[in-house]
Amino acid sequence: MTKTNPGRFFEDYEVGQTIRHAVPRTLAEGERALYHALYPARHALYSSDEFAISCGLDGSPMDDLLAFHTVFGKTVPDVSLNAVANLGYAQGRWLQPVWPGDTLRAESQVIGLKQNSNGQSGVVWVRTQGLNQVDDVVLDYVRWVMVRKRDPQAPAPDAVVPDLAAVVDPSDLVVPEGLDFAEYDFELAGEPHRLDDYQVGERIDHVDGVTVEEAEHMLATRLWQNTAKVHFDATNRPDGRRLIYGGHVISLARALSFNGLANAQMIVALNAGAHANPCFAGSTVRAWSEVLDKAPTAAPGVGAIRLRLVATTGDSGSFALRGDDGRYRQDVLLDLDYWALMPV
């Protein structure tokens, strides 16, 4: 019998099952530096220990998306090795910052299963938690994927479709302990715009573009220990192209959004996300955002802004998202819905 990991097929999942994912990972200064080399990240709270201290923290935490990618990467060998498609995210919350030196591991619980009508595959819903070395949950999100069946003749399980909120309620957002934007230095942060300056419905063209190279997305995806073949092996697809990890596009777009949203400092919730089209090396990625909602928090000077972040290979200034048929345009890569913390 083979000793390599064949991945799980649809019939290997059961509702209620808990999967303890392998290979914990210590994140430190090196990962922080690499994140800044891989993405044009400039949010001051993650760039400067001094700035973070002036906001009431003990120093710069690891980028929220770095924590997300690390936890996500752990789940790949158990959840998406035989996945046909990554269908969605919901109810994601960052519950605690990850600090340099922290070690993360991940656990997932199967919360839903539904076989497709073709009998070839099914949808699996998992709720994943990222835990640090003292078993505090630092991140919690739901993800669903379409997974192939090993045997198309295997019987379908009872369908269980979880009831997922479309948006994390602002009252459920967790503000990191000590965070205080009362003395926030807008000049040093890079832009004067505070929460009050943004209007619901406002759209922001982030203007800049980044042309992506193979070496870059592979360095990133390996750093998160994501093992999906499609990202690394040019012989895996008939067209000889390597599919860029969707999370790489999320981080690129978020970093580009600095230009116009420099003060949307910390990501605290992931409401929804769609990888609308695949991204390949050679593409020039641009981004635009739309303000979806605003909410207060109990922390001094800290408000929450709900944003739609769109990555596109087209014109970010056209704010185009869907065609007349209601489907995502071909040039849209990502449609992400998240909450961030911003000085009021």
Site for its own copies in 76-135 (CB under 8 A): 77, 101, 103, 105, 133
Among 169, 199, 190, smallest CA distance to 269 is for 169
Q: Minimal distance in Å, beta carbon 325 to its own copies?
A: 27
Backbone angles phi, psi at 92, to 5 degrees: -80, 135
Candidates 85, 159, 161, 207; binder of its own copies (CB under 8 A) is: 207
Site for its own copies, residues 45 to 74, rule: CB under 8 A: 47-51, 60
Residues 124 and 110: beta-carbon distance below 8 Å: yes
Site for its own copies, residues 163 to 192, rule: CB under 8 A: 187-191
Candidates 170, 209, 278, 314; binder of its own copies (CB under 8 A) is: 209
Q: Which is nearer to its own copies, 282 or 327 (CB)?
A: 282
Interface mask toward its own copies for 275-294; x: CB under 8 A: ---------x----------
Quickly list H helices, 169-324.
Answer: 186-189, 214-223, 246-256, 258-261
Q: Which is nearer to its own copies, 193 or 294 (CB)?
A: 193
Candidates 17, 18, 211, 330; binder of its own copies (CB under 8 A) is: 211
Q: Which is nearer to its own copies, 40 or 278 (CB)?
A: 40
Site for its own copies, residues 217 to 236, rule: CB under 8 A: 218-220, 222-223, 225, 227, 229, 232-236
Q: Which is nearer to its own copies, 46 or 89 (CB)?
A: 46
| 202: Cα separation from own chain's centroid | 23
Rounded Cα–Cα distance for residues 322 and 327 (Å): 5
Tokens of 291: 């303000």
Identify which range of 89-97, 113-121, 215-223, 336-344 contacts its own copies by CB under 8 A: 215-223
For 95, how many CA atoms within 13 A lie in the half-sphere containing its CB?
14
CB atoms within 10 A of CB 330: 12
The set of long-range contacts for 123-126, using a CB threshold of 8 Å and a minimum separation of 24, is 123/87, 123/147, 124/10, 124/13, 124/79, 125/161, 125/162, 126/19, 126/75, 126/79
By the rule CB under 8 A, 273 interacts with its own copies: no
By the rule CB under 8 A, 237 interacts with its own copies: no
Candidates 12, 167, 170, 259; binder of its own copies (CB under 8 A) is: 259
Q: Which is nearer to its own copies, 66 or 111 (CB)?
A: 66
Tokens 């752990």: give the residue.
74
Beta bridge partners of 304: 295, 341
By the rule CB under 8 A, 40 interacts with its own copies: yes
Candidates 14, 22, 85, 183; binder of its own copies (CB under 8 A) is: 22
Tokens of 201: 């419905």
Q: Minimal distance in Å, beta carbon 24 to its own copies?
A: 4
